[in-house]
């Protein structure tokens, strides 16, 4: 199931927001080795490590929503919501900055 983050930025600005948010996430949470591999302007594969396991997911940028998907091993399923929440929080911070004209 994909996690949706609604926005009013349009696809191009939302793509910039997502890239900045993921870069900030990489700095703040470097101990989890987060990586974002942008396959196109609007799609990225993401990975990070928790307790020796690598979690994989994807980010898709749309005109009115950013979709997050995270594949979590069974042992870590209780942490899936928390992981998505942390990523969403970072993206929302950058959405607010973009809406305020700070990008």
Domain count, the chain: 1
Q: Is residue 65 part of a domain?
A: yes
Q: How would residue 42 be classed by pLDDT, with cut points 50, 70 and 90?
A: very high
Region of 64 please: left (phi>0), alpha (psi -120 to 50) or beta: alpha
Q: How would residue 5 be classed by pLDDT, with cut points 50, 70 and 90?
A: very high
Q: How would residue 102 be classed by pLDDT, with cut points 50, 70 and 90?
A: confident
Q: Is residue 72 part of a domain?
A: yes
Q: What is the DSSP letter of 89?
A: H
Q: Is residue 101 part of a domain?
A: no
pLDDT > 90 in the chain, percent: 45
27-60 burial code (b ≥16 CB/10 A, e <16) = eeeeebebebeeeeebebebebebeeeebebbbb
Residue 27 has pLDDT above 80, yes or no: yes
Model's pTM, two decimal places? 0.84
Q: Is residue 100 part of a domain?
A: no
CATH of the domain at 77: 3.30.310.80
Q: Is residue 102 part of a domain?
A: no
Q: Which domain holds residue 33?
A: 3-95
């Amino acid at each position: 199931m994909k996690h949706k983050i609604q926005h009013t930025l349009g696809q191009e600005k939302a793509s910039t927001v997502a890239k900045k948010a993921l870069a900030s996430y990489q700095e703040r949470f470097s101990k989890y080795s987060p990586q974002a591999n942008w396959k196109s302007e609007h799609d990225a594969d993401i990975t990070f490590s928790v307790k020796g396991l690598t979690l994989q997911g994807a980010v898709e940028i749309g005109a009115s929503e950013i979709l997050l998907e995270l594949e979590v091993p069974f042992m870590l399923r209780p942490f899936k919501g928390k992981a998505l929440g942390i990523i969403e929080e970072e993206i929302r911070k950058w959405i607010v900055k973009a809406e305020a004209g700070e990008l």
